[in-house]
Chains A and B, each alone.
Chain A
Amino acid sequence: EDKVVQSPLSLVVHEGDTVTLNCSYEVTNFRSLLWYKQEKKAPTFLFMLTSSGIEKKSGRLSSILDKKELFSILNITATQTGDSAIYLCATITNSGYALNFGKGTSLLVTP
Chain B
Amino acid sequence: NAGVTQTPKFQVLKTGQSMTLQCAQDMNHNSMYWYRQDPGMGLRLIYYSASEGTTDKGEVPNGYNVSRLNKREFSLRLESAAPSQTSVYFCASRRDLNTEAFFGQGTRLTVV
Contact = CB atoms under 8 A, between A and B. Distances in A.
A32 B100 CA distance: 10
Contacts of A97: 31, 48, 50, 56, 94, 97
Interface residues of B, number: 27
A103 B41 CA distance: 5
Interface stretch (A41-49, A62-70, A72-80): A41-49
Residue in B40, B99, B100, B106 with the greatest tally of chain A CB atoms within 10 Å:
B100
A88 interface: yes
Range class of the A interface residue count: 20 to 34
Interface of B: 4, 31, 33, 35, 40-45, 48, 50, 56, 58, 90, 92, 94, 97-106
Interface of A: 6, 9, 31-32, 34, 41-45, 48, 88, 90, 92, 94, 97-104
